[in-house]
Amino acid sequence: MVLKIFFPQCCNRADSGLLVGRWLSGHDSAVVLAVIHYPFIPGQVKQYIQQIQASSGVELSVLGSWSLPKEGQEGMESFLRDLSTIFPQKRWLQINREVGKTGFNCQVLQRDQNGRAIPREIKKKVEKTDGEAGGDGQKKEKKKVKKKKEEKQKEEEEKKEEEKEEEEDEEEKVIFVHYEQRKVMLSQLHPVENGVSDPKTDPPSELRQMFQSVALSQPLYFLDRYDDGPLKSTHWQSEGREASIIVELLKQSTVPLCMLLRWLLSIWTWICNIRIFSLPPLRFLSSKLSTCVQLSYRTEHMRTLSSPKRTTEHTEFMRKANMVVSVLVDMALGMLLMWWLYKDNHISMLANTLVPAADHVAKELEELLQWLMGAPAGLKMNRALDQVLGRFFLYHIHLWISYIHLMSPFIEGILWYGCLSACFGLTFALSLLSDMVALLTFHIYCFYVYGARLYCLKIYGLSSLWRLFRGKKWNVLRQRVDSCSYDLDQLFIGTLLFTVLLFLLPTTALYYLVFTLLRLVVVLFQGVLHLSVDFINSFPLFAVALRITRSYRLAEGVKFRVLCEEPGTALHLMMEINPLKSSTVVQLYRTPTYSCYPKDSWAALVKKLFVGELIYPWRHKTTKTD
């Protein structure tokens, strides 16, 4: 069987001592987490390991011994081998390395049932040329020296192997996998598996177990070499613990901030729950206005952010971080917009152009209606119906224009206070704009509804009478067309009505077409606004920034690199983290929103338009997610 040893890069030059780590269950591998140096008291080592095991929950144990003998420390090997009797293990690893050389030797001692140690002396040399050990110039000399030694060793090996071959059938091979401890500790393997794994499925994979052991053994990395304790260990933080003051300050300040947020939210919820606001018409209105929807959405976010529980899980942490960043970016963009609007009197300029613009639109609509009432595009319309519809719509426009004129002195004030809402965020300004557009084009919506209803009625009437004309009927019970024998007077009246409706069709159809197009233009504009609001709401800026700057934190997997080998030696691999693709990051960490998405496909939309059904192309998803 092949034994895999995950060895941290920081321990490559550690002084001799004991290897502390974990054997991975279900796989023939071990993860080395730290090296505890000589001199030590075995009792204290055992106590320390039990302490760390209790606080971290990782099954730590002493894996074996590591020797990098300095001058005057000969004879360590035999001492370290005797240690295997003090720490009873099933397998005892003896890894040694000599100063001035870049080779690793590994011996594995197995315990048989009687507790005797049977050494499997297969010496494997491992060379490293990853730039850490020595300079380039020395390597060539080392290689020459090593080759001679290797030849000698190979001869010895061969002899031993011949002897051993009678005893054991398989050779035990060792693969050293080097990893960078700090990066593996901070990284999160995707797909994220939260909580307890299902005992029915296979045990977690080797890599996942390895990542988990490194990440959960945080208490092991607290002792550094400047501590005056009885034990000295080497790991990635042994040069002294580092931390960022800003991060620590932010962490401390989150508690009072969360309390403040919770208090503000409670006041806001109290205001919202006042009896007046829960009347049905207001409730219906607030569900239609996008500003109110956006407000409730952001309140939900704030509620999640201000919860008193500390986040431990990765997905929850990323979600909260994305929310915070999104809110901050939103506010910053809103402030920018406010600054642009309020300087140089842009608001009064906007207000001054608004009323003339509305007038202009009204005039254009009137001209359009006059055109329709005449002979549009050369088509001859039915005079009476034409005049009725035309005058009806003209009166509507007249009403609307008078309301606009009534409101014109207040417009600047309304705009001024409305733009203040941009301080809550750009999304609020955009939703307010969308609502205002909806209100101002309400008459177009009304015209569209009238035109569509009329047209729809006409089409249904026509189709039903056409069936009568052919002697058929729609069977509601069977949902199909059946033949039917009509009386003579039924047929007579039916045919008459059919011809009337048929000849009135072009007029209604034209009005319907014109107003549907206008409505679609407005809907398109609102759709663009909603899409941009949705984009700002849901885009995971924090996750993308993390992927760009600290790509090792979001890991899709690992990649291996073979470090230079000499033939006949064991395998030496460098394990690096393979980061997630940016598209996967965006897809995975999108904040769920009440997103506006097109409800119908293109074909369904065209069919609806043709039949005359009212279209509401953008549908809001409910904010409740599973």
Partner 1 sequence: MEDETFTDISGKAISLDCQNHSSLCREFVVSVPKVSIGKVMVYTCCVWLLAYAVFFFTENTAVLSSAIFITLVGMMLHIHFVKVDHETLLVIGSLGIQLSSSYASGRETTTFIEIGKIKDIVINEAIYMHQIIYYLCVLLKDPSEPNAVSRVVPLFQSSKPRLNCLMKVYKSCQEILSKC
Kindly list the residues in this chain that would bind partner 1 in the complex (CB under 8 A). 1-2, 4, 28, 173, 175, 177, 201-202, 205-207, 557-560, 562, 565, 567, 569-571, 573, 578
> Judging by beta carbons within 10 Å of its beta carbon (0-12, 13-18, 19+), is residue 316 exposed, middle or buried?
middle
The total number of residues shown for the chain amounts to: 626
Of the pair 124, 235, the CB lying nearest partner 1 is at 124
Please give the biggest Cα pair distance in the chain.
Answer: 124
- Helices 426-440 and 488-538: angle between axes, nearest 10 degrees: 160
Minimum CB separation of residue 414 from partner 1 in Å reads: 44
The 3-state secondary structure of 494-517, one letter per residue: HHHHHHHHHHHHHHHHHHHHHHHH
Of the pair 26, 413, the CB lying nearest partner 1 is at 26
- Alpha-carbon dihedral 251, 252, 256, 259, rounded to 10 degrees: 40
Sequential DSSP letters for 264-293: HHHHHHHHHTSGGGGSHHHHHHHHH-HHHH
Minimum CB separation of residue 28 from partner 1 in Å reads: 7
Of the pair 202, 487, the CB lying nearest partner 1 is at 202
Q: Which residues of 436-460 are buried (b: 16+ CB within 10 A; e: fewer)?
A: eebebbebbbebbebbbebbbebbe
Of the pair 99, 196, the CB lying nearest partner 1 is at 196
Of the pair 13, 559, the CB lying nearest partner 1 is at 559
Asked if the peptide bond before residue 281 counts as cis, ω within 30 degrees of 0, the response is no
Q: How far apart are CA 448 and CA 429, in angstroms?
A: 27
Of the pair 121, 576, the CB lying nearest partner 1 is at 576
One-letter identity of residue 326: S
Minimum CB separation of residue 209 from partner 1 in Å reads: 11
Minimum CB separation of residue 410 from partner 1 in Å reads: 47
Minimum CB separation of residue 128 from partner 1 in Å reads: 14
Minimum CB separation of residue 20 from partner 1 in Å reads: 23
- Alpha-carbon dihedral 295, 300, 302, 303, rounded to 10 degrees: 140
Of the pair 208, 453, the CB lying nearest partner 1 is at 208
Minimum CB separation of residue 13 from partner 1 in Å reads: 25
Give all strands (DSSP E) within 61-131, no chain letters: 61-67, 91-97, 103-111, 117-120, 126-127
Minimum CB separation of residue 107 from partner 1 in Å reads: 18
Of the pair 187, 326, the CB lying nearest partner 1 is at 187
Q: How far apart are CA 275 and CA 281, in angstroms?
A: 13
Minimum CB separation of residue 144 from partner 1 in Å reads: 22
Q: Identify the CA nearest to 450 among candidates 369, 516, 520, 361.
A: 516
- Helices 383-420 and 346-373: angle between axes, nearest 10 degrees: 170
Of the pair 299, 569, the CB lying nearest partner 1 is at 569
Minimum CB separation of residue 248 from partner 1 in Å reads: 36
State how far the alpha carbon of 193 is from the alpha carbons of 103, 314, 626, in Å.
Answer: 38, 10, 18
Of the pair 518, 570, the CB lying nearest partner 1 is at 570
Minimum CB separation of residue 27 from partner 1 in Å reads: 8
Of the pair 202, 242, the CB lying nearest partner 1 is at 202
Q: If you search the block for the tokens 């380039």, which residue do you land on?
A: 136
Minimum CB separation of residue 94 from partner 1 in Å reads: 21
Copy the structure tokens of residue 585: 């990051």
User: What's the angle, vertex CA 166, arms to CA 164 and CA 171, rounded to 5?
Assistant: 50
**Whether 157 contacts 568, CB under 8 Å:** no
Minimum CB separation of residue 315 from partner 1 in Å reads: 22
**Whether 550 contacts 343, CB under 8 Å:** no
Of the pair 331, 571, the CB lying nearest partner 1 is at 571
Minimum CB separation of residue 152 from partner 1 in Å reads: 21
One-letter identity of residue 78: S
Q: Identify the CA nearest to 253 among candidates 161, 336, 148, 324.
A: 324
Give all strands (DSSP E) within 225-341, no chain letters: 233-234
Of the pair 4, 319, the CB lying nearest partner 1 is at 4
Of the pair 520, 571, the CB lying nearest partner 1 is at 571
What element of type H or E holds 23?
strand 17-24
> Which pairing describes strands 61-67 and 29-37: parallel, antiparallel, or unpaired?
unpaired
Of the pair 288, 581, the CB lying nearest partner 1 is at 581
Q: Which residues of 1-40 are buried (b: 16+ CB within 10 A; e: fewer)?
A: eebbbbbbbbbbebbbbbbbbbbbeeeebbbbbbbbbbeb
Asked if the peptide bond before residue 191 counts as cis, ω within 30 degrees of 0, the response is yes
Give the three-class secondary structure for 421: helix
Minimum CB separation of residue 575 from partner 1 in Å reads: 9
